[in-house]
Amino acid sequence: MKNSAIDLAEGEADLTKMLPVVVPDEISQASEAFNRFIKRLDGLIASIYSTADAIIKETEAVAASSEQLNASIEEISSAISEVARGAQEQSTKS
């Protein structure tokens, strides 16, 4: 149990290993509590990874939409410039 606690404190914990629970005394109760903590920590880490993955995907989607929007804005700007040139030509011919 001591080694598992040290590994956890040093960031080297293997979250798949559980402590053995041999007899129902304070040490085994502490081992059970530690095992529950490790399971919850493992679930929390999995949730963080899942959330981070979802954020990455959404960020990529926003970036793609932004690129499409930028291309559309450039097309609109070009069209407006052409209309303005045409209007200017018409006004100079009049």
How far is 26 from 46, CA to CA, in rounded Å? Answer: 30
Q: What is the pLDDT of residues 56-66, one digit of tens each?
A: 999 999 999 99
- At 81 the three-state DSSP class reads helix
Q: Domains of the chain: which residue ranges?
A: 28-93
- Is the pLDDT at 5 greater than 80? The verdict is no
What pTM, to 2 d.p., does this model score?
Answer: 0.57
Per-residue pLDDT at 49: 97
What pLDDT band is residue 26 in, cutting at 50, 70 and 90?
Answer: confident
